[in-house]
């Protein structure tokens, strides 16, 4: 277990983790991670987030089957070349699609709403909390990754989990200790002057 991880070190070394040990995670750590998530900002301090901890293997197996179907439609043999991933990412993401049910714990981040159609603006009140959760994982030697492929089967997933109508799932976060195939960064990203502009689109911000 790591202690007092430096924030900038965590940000610069954070990486999607898709390979997990078959090792139990104490409930108090999951509790702490959710508490860390709730320290994020939300619109009007409404705190509309809810977190569903999933350990039941039968439930995980059912949802994992839907997740794998969604993976095949998006990236696999059924995708008809709709999307391409870097080979390293494809390998790990494919592994997760086939083995997500083996992650010791899932945390499904959800968002309460007032019945309006799903839209990007909702994310402002849930994804900061998800990012807090991911950074918190690093403090405890854990890994996770934001996954949303289950949302293709949102209705079925909500029914399996008893999630009410006015609540939308935002991310399925498999959580576990890193196995030998997984490690944190440093990560490589495009430089700022390639993705940030000043005053007019296309003029690099240097």
> Contact, 132 vs 39, CB < 8 A?
yes
| C-alpha span between 62 and 85 (Å, rounded) | 26
Which residues are within 8 A (CB) of 172 and not within 5 positions of it... i.e. 6 or more apart? 63, 67, 100, 106, 108, 147, 148, 149, 150
Per-residue confidence of the chain (206 residues) as pLDDT tens digits?
456 789 999 999 999 999 999 999 999 999 999 999 999 999 888 899 999 999 999 999 999 999 999 999 988 765 555 556 678 788 899 999 999 999 999 999 999 987 666 666 666 789 999 999 999 999 999 999 999 999 999 999 999 999 999 999 999 999 999 998 889 989 999 999 999 999 999 999 98
Q: Is 142 exposed, middle or buried (0-12, 13-18, 19+ CB in 10 A)?
A: buried
Please return the burial class of 20, using the count of CB atoms within 10 Å of its CB with bins 0-12, 13-18 and 19+.
buried
- Return d(Cα 161, Cα 102) in angstroms, integer: 18
Task: Return d(Cα 15, Cα 186) in angstroms, integer.
Answer: 8
175 closest CA partner among 88, 100, 105? 105
Domains, in order of start, for the chain: 7-182 (3.40.109.10)
The pLDDT value given to residue 19: 96
- pLDDT at res. 149: 96
What is the pTM (predicted TM-score) of this model? Answer: 0.90
């Amino acid at each position: 277990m790591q202690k007092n991880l430096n924030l900038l070190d965590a940000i610069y070394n954070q990486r999607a983790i898709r390979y997990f040990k078959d090792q139990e995670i104490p409930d108090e750590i999951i509790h702490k991670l959710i508490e860390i998530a709730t320290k994020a900002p939300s619109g009007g301090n409404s705190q509309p987030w809810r977190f569903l901890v999933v350990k039941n293997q039968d439930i995980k197996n059912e949802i994992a089957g839907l997740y794998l179907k969604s993976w095949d439609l998006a990236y696999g043999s059924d995708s008809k070349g709709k999307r391409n991933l870097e080979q390293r990412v494809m390998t790990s993401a494919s592994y997760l699609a086939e083995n997500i049910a083996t992650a010791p714990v899932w945390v499904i981040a959800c968002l309460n709403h007032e019945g309006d159609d799903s839209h990007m603006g909702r994310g402002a009140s849930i994804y900061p909390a998800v990012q807090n959760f991911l950074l918190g994982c690093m403090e405890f030697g854990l890994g996770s990754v934001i996954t949303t492929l289950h949302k293709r089967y949102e209705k079925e997933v909500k029914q399996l989990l008893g999630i009410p109508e006015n609540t939308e799932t935002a991310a399925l976060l498999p959580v576990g200790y890193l196995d030998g195939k997984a490690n944190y960064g440093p990560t490589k990203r495009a430089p700022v002057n390639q993705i940030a502009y000043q005053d007019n689109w296309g003029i690099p911000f240097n």
